[in-house]
Amino acid sequence: MDLKELKIRLGINENDNSQDSVLQVKLDDAIDYAKNYCNNLFINSKGEMELPGAVKKGVALMVKSMGENSNVSSQSLGDMSKSFFQNGTTDEAHKYFKPFRKLRFS
C-alpha cells in the first residue's frame, strides 16, 4: 500500500500534496501496527510485503483514527451534529484485521 492508494481510500484529492509527509509517517505506523496486531508480516510467495484488501481498509481506518481527537465525544456546528464512540474507528479497523490475525505462542 502506498500513499496514492491511501489518499484514494481516505477520499483525499490525489493532487493535494500538503499533507504527504504526515500521511506517509501515519501510513508507515499503521502498517507496522497491523503487522504487529495480526502477528503477520504479509509476505507473499515472491518475498514481498502484500497487504490483502481488508487489511488495507483497516490500515486506512487506523490512519484516520490517528487524526481524531480522542477527548471529543460529540461536535456540533450549526445544524450539524456528530457523535463519536471511544475507540470506534480503531475497533472498526480491528474487525478488518481479525481474519488475518495469527496466534502467538510463548
Burial of 6 (0-12, 13-18, 19+ CB in 10 A): buried
Q: In sequence order, what are the beta bridge partners of 74?
A: 83
Tell me which residue has cell 484529492. Answer: 13
Please state, in angstroms and rounded to a whole number, the distance separating the CA atoms of residues 2 and 21.
12
Is the predicted pLDDT of residue 106 greater than 60, yes or no?
Answer: yes
pTM of the model: 0.81
Output the pLDDT for position 105.
78
What average pLDDT is seen over the chain? Answer: 89
Residue-wise pLDDT tens digits, 54-75 = 999 999 999 998 877 665 556 6
In contact, 58 and 96? CB cutoff 8 Å: yes
